[in-house]
Amino acid sequence: MSAEKPPMELGKGAVNLDKAGFLDVRATSYEQLEQLRRRPYALTGEVNFIQEEDTRLETTRARLANVLRRHEELKERLSRDSDKMIFERLQKEFEAARAAQTEEISLDGEQWNEGLLATIRERVHMEADRKAMSSQTSIPPDTHFHAKTTYRIKNKVICCLEGARIGIQYETSFAGEPCEIYHCVLESKSFLEKMTVIEHTVPFFLPIREAENDLLSSSAIKFIDHVGELLQSYVDRREQVRLIKELYGNQIGELFHSLAYNWIEFVLEDFDCKVTVSLRYADLVSVLPSRIRVLAWPVHPLKKILVGDRKGSGAALAQSIPSRLSYAEDALRTMSLPEAYAEIVLNMPRVLQQMFPQLGGA
């Protein structure tokens, strides 16, 4: 007579095999039954969680879109028609001054100094006084005063304008191509009094008034140069963003920036991971970011948990944590945005495959 087969362990409980060798389900442990009973509800809960998360994301996107729309409306209101009229009037005045010039002197770094600016200030006041006197008495013309000289230093042109005013025209550029022209007009009641900004066409979001308060009374040269740096750096940052949108717009899912382009964020979605790029600039005269964060997020990590084995859920959850792409951050720290973008995209598939091998080919 053959001996009975010992009970076979399954989980924490013990079950018996009947004479035909089939599993006696009635002997299955209570814990296993509870696991089987709870599993559909757990899966349903995870699905509901994903749906709730998607709803929250859509709500956030809708709110952000509304903020951006209001942002553009505010920008349009602040860029009033009166500002455009000021630009057109000043542009004509600067063109007339340059057309009447008898000489344009190009200055190097050492020649552009406070002494030269003091000479220009003295000249415009003497010219204004001479015109005021000539309107009252008959004074023969002086060829010295009829000489019209403008000065060029890098991207700035300094003109003597009517009414004892000094005009600075800033000519911005990007990649060797000319961009916008901006103006700033300085005036003082007398040669001994400090100068003030009476008109300008600098964008309202650049701090020209702060620069006037901090620099103009102590060093007009530093003020003029600083405004030029503000304008050129702003144009550089703006044009870099425009260029990546133009060249790689099909890969960029979302892109946000401040008015001065000193805060830029965008998302790359043309890969198995969502890559978020965040750039902060230390100040408004910087053209390379100082704070950079590039993160790679596996696409739909919660959905990967659902379709994966429950035993591997812990690993899948760990894989859903974003990873920093240090090579991308290094590129953005040392290259212009379009150059860094090309470098990042070129190496992205290989790097993502190494970081997230479970995703397959990028």
Contact at 8 Å (CB) between 342 and 240? no
Mean pLDDT, the chain, whole residue set: 79
How confident is the model over 272-302, as pLDDT tens digits? 788 999 999 999 999 999 999 999 988 754 4
First to last CA, the chain: 64
Q: What is the mean pLDDT of residues 246-258?
A: 92
Q: Residue 123 — pLDDT band, cuts 50, 70, 90?
A: confident
Q: What is the mean pLDDT of residues 199-224?
A: 95
pTM: 0.73
Alpha-carbon gap, residue 333 to 340, rounded angstroms? 8
Q: Residue 8 — pLDDT band, cuts 50, 70, 90?
A: very low
Long-range contacts of 38-41 (CB under 8 A, 24+ apart): none
Q: Residue 139 — pLDDT band, cuts 50, 70, 90?
A: low
Strand partners, 181: 171
* The residue to which tokens 């406070």 are assigned: 114
**Nearest residue to 309 via CA among 37, 43, 11:** 43
